[in-house]
Chains A and B, each alone.
Chain A
Amino acid sequence: MSSQERSLPAVEIRAVQKSYGALQALRGVDLTIEQGEFFALLGPNGAGKTTLISILAGLARADAGTLRVMGHEVVQDYRAARRALGVVPQELVFDPFFSVRETLRIQSGYFGLRHNDDWIDEILENLHLTDKAEVNMRTLSGGMKRRVLIGQALVHRPPVIVLDEPTAGVDVELRQTLWKFIRQLNGAGHTILLTTHYLEEAEALCQRVAVLHKGQLVACERISDLLLGRQAATLEEAFVGLIRDVET
């Protein structure tokens, strides 16, 4: 990575708007996430978090505005932007025709990596999936499928990792395993963008937080500054107070 690339923001979102019919899902969102950050994107249900992530990942198109991942515009320079991004979707989706290893190999191939078994083995080990490598995806439990989703997002070693509510419906053991691994990745320089409804997790893991409400960004600052500014003891308390103030 050149010095110019090192100085680029990991994610840069400018004036992004998106409507679905009469519903304005995003109303001019601006957001910058620096490289190496562990960043939380919070908001009540329907605030626009998943829409914003979908547009960032190329799963949906913005009506207006620009989005960049590691300096690459997500529509014009989509190949480089998608190579720089790993996304763990919110839904527990899987292809029922393949085993865990086949799933990871296929995902690796989509990103142009043909001989990637060493890294795949490392992912399987870190996600405690080694003994399930040859098992068909259909037969895995929900928690196991969630781990594979995380593996699929990491298989091309993206510098930016987006986790869209990764611990929804996940047991304590998996949460601990998952956060340990994600912390390791963040420590190794990966930028992490996390959306979650578990605010204690965001508080424990992230340095900065942005709050979306009805498609608008209503806060974007360090968690410590947010707590101080709102004179709150916890992120949950600050979040609840912020949403109440915005709505009144």
Chain B
Amino acid sequence: MGVGFTTLLGKEVLRFWKVSFQTLLAPLISTLLYLVVFAQVLGQRVSVYPGVGYAAFLVPGLVMMAMLQNAFANSSSSLVQSKVSGSLVFVLLAPLSEIEFFSAYVLAAMLRGLLVGSVVLVTAGFFFPPQIHSLLWILVFCFLATGLSGALGVLAGVWAEKFDQMAAWQNFLILPLTFLSGAFYSLHSLPPLWHFISRFNPFFYAIDGFRYGFIGASDVSPWESLLIVGSTGLALSWATLALLRSGWRVRP
């Protein structure tokens, strides 16, 4: 990884930083609104795990949901915008390998996801101070989940050639996956069919493992979550790199 890679990474970070109202502040506001509405309405009535208040359960879920959505949005929107505008040509003309190209977009996506997550967590912490069970699990799932989501965003960006194709990814895949991921509820409260379907959602494992790091309780073992989030991220990265090497939709 050389200067070309660090330049592309820096450019991608600068790109979202220059529009931080849209890329950092807007997700903070929307996540806090979820928190206020759900924690206030349900906080006194719902207890998911014994001895754990609903806000303590909800905050990690919302933080991870924001990280997943924003990591995906960063890599996917940057790629599709530059494809539609034609400015991707400047990156394609450069002597960058596929792995440098992929890694720069994924790392920038991870950074945005982590920044959004940190800002949401710190702000939510003023109202609902979080408990920390294991910082290591929190960090592991932060990095793995934003990496997975960033890689998925690169795949979507490579595939999509129009904004409405990208909107289909957002509305028909990312939104359902993040909302039906146990951010607001425990899997055990679901009917058997939805419980079964949810076990195929990698975002569920990202949220469940991340939450374990805060409250020390989870629907499945954090090791199982680690295995599934990690292997899904690796499989997605491998598939996206293979597509990039083939030139599919990028170097036709």
Contacts and interface: CB of A to CB of B under 8 A. Distances in A.
Given A61-B252, A97-B14, A82 B4 contact: no
A89 interface: yes
A79 B86 contact: no
A114 B10 CA distance: 12
B14 A111 contact: no
Contacts of B4: 109-112
Interface string A70-103: 0000000011101101010101011111100010
A82 B95 contact: yes
Interface stretch (A27-35, A52-60, A124-132): A52-60
Contacts of B95: 78-80, 82-83, 110-112
A98 B18 CA distance: 9
B27 to A, nearest CB: 19
A22 to B, nearest CB: 15
A82 B96 CA distance: 9
Nearest to B92: A59
B150 to A, nearest CB: 19
A110 B85 contact: no
B6 interface: yes
A58 B252 contact: no
What is the predominant secondary structure among interface residues of chain B facing chain A? helix
A113 B90 contact: no
Contact of A112 (B3, B97, B251): B3
B94 A82 contact: yes
Count chain B CB atoms within 10 A of each CB in A61, A82, A110, A114 and give the residue with the most.
A110
A122 to B, nearest CB: 20
A110 B8 contact: yes
B89 to A, nearest CB: 6
B15 interface: yes
A95 B85 CA distance: 8
Nearest to B82: A95
Nearest to A162: B93
Contacts of A112: 2-4, 95
Interface residues of A, number: 31
Contact of B86 (A20, A78, A93, A97): A93
B11 A106 contact: yes
A57 B3 contact: no
A186 interface: no
Given A109-B4, A110-B7, A58 B89 contact: no
A17 interface: no
B37 interface: no
B134 interface: no
A58 B14 contact: no
A20 B2 CA distance: 35
A191 interface: no
A89 B86 contact: yes
A89 B94 contact: no
B46 interface: no
B231 interface: no
A97 B228 CA distance: 37
A107 interface: yes
Nearest to A108: B7
B90 to A, nearest CB: 6
Contacts of B93: 57-59, 82, 85, 87, 110
Nearest to A153: B93
Given A59-B92, A109-B10, A110-B7, A94 B251 contact: no
Contacts of A114: 3, 7
Interface string B92-126: 11111100000000000000000000000000000
Contacts of A196: none
Given A89-B89, A110-B93, A110-B95, 4 more contacts: A61-B252, A106-B90, A109-B4, A114-B7
9 contacts: A58-B251, A80-B95, A82-B94, A87-B93, A89-B89, A97-B15, A106-B90, A109-B4, A114-B7
